[in-house]
A = this chain, B = another copy of it.
Amino acid sequence: MSEVQHQQVEGRFDPYPTRTPDLHQPFRRIDPVVHARNQHRWEGPLDEVSLSRYERDGFLWFEGFFSHDRVAPFFAELAEMARDQTLMDSEQVIRDPGTGELRSVFGMHEISANFDRLTRDPRILGMVRQLLGSEVYIHQSRINDKYGFKGSGFDWHSDFETWHAEDGMRRMRAVSASLMLTENNEFNGPLMLIPGSHQLFVPCQGETPAMNWQSSLQAQRIGVPSREVLARLATHGGIQAPKGPAGSLLLFECNTLHASNENMSPWPRSNLFFVYNSVDNQLEEPFAAPQRRPEFLGARKNVGQLTMHDEYPELAGQGVRPLS
């Protein structure tokens, strides 16, 4: 592997070159992890301990963030979606490569007013604005389902690497909020993360094929770090798989390496993902792909700043501490 040179792509400076013919060494990110330390305007619910932990690990885990009662109503809506044949036949719905069962539904916040409202929860939005140091919008939302004994895993990857290469997201200034709609336990394929991996950008080898997303959302082959780099990072930082009841929340930095294994249990695993991007980091043309991806994978139209709803006014400014 050789040192990567920052590249001019069609006249543009590319801070994170990837999908190159040769394999290049990982390098330290040029973007901060917490974008608004000590800025009065972006004060929020996370205290200094939490901010430091996020900076170190690349994620924060909030066990039982929402009550079971708050999460339960979403299931009725999901069941209704599954009966919507037009939606189920659309591009937004990804099937499991092994079983043909539902794997992901994209654009959740546009399909459902309830999910849209959830993206504007004052506590989540407060933390996200604090971490990104700006107003934010939803870059992508999805639900990942793994049925009992059925759901395939996801190989190790950085979301940012794909969003940079295929969607033209220039800088690392996005955060994913993953809300557990079911219990996540040791056996139903919980999300695994490599703490500290977000500090490095891992360039990936190999050109992005046209319309790559049509296969990559089932099983990713391009944009996967080399085994050698993964081994080095996992041996250095370890692997963590946060577990907890439905309603638990994970915030993870866009460049944190994560994966998940198959669901070996009878217990379904449903996780909702909202990706918040800074309004100052809106998408350009893809840095390493022949064309833009569809709107439901990387928003370009509906990118106005999110406004908190006022369901919990009493919580505004109240401290939120991760439990692990």
| Docked-complex contact B264 and A192, CB < 8 angstroms | yes
How many Å from the CB of A258 to the closest CB on chain B? 11
B156, B186, B235, B266: the one within 8 Å of A227 (CB): B266
| Interface size band for A | 20 to 34
Give Cα A241 to B266, complex, Å: 15
The answer to whether A296 has its CB under 8 Å from any CB of chain B is no
How many copies of the polypeptide does the oligomer hold?
A: 2
Q: Does A306 contact B (CB under 8 A)?
A: no
The answer to whether B264 and A264 touch across the interface, beta carbons within 8 angstroms, is no
- Set B241, B260, B266: member contacting A235, Cβ < 8 A: B266
Chain B neighbourhood of A227, CB < 8 A: 148-149, 266
User: Which residue among A186, A227, A230, A259 has the maximum number of chain B CB atoms within 10 Å of its CB?
Assistant: A186
A266-B241 Cα distance, complex, nearest whole Å: 15
Chain A stretch 172-221: residues in CB contact (< 8 A) with chain B? 186-187, 192
> Does residue A262 face the partner (Cβ distance < 8 Å to B)?
yes
Q: Is the CB of B266 within 8 A of A234?
A: yes
Which residues on the B side are within 8 Å of A231 (C-beta)?
148-149, 266
Instruction: Name the B residues within 8 Å of A261 (CB-CB).
Output: 261-262, 264
Query: Does A239 sit at the interface, judged by CB under 8 A?
Result: yes
Separation of A22 and B242 alpha carbons in the complex (Å): 42
Binding site for B on A (CB under 8 A): 148-149, 153, 156, 186-187, 192, 227, 230-231, 234-235, 239, 241, 259-262, 264-266
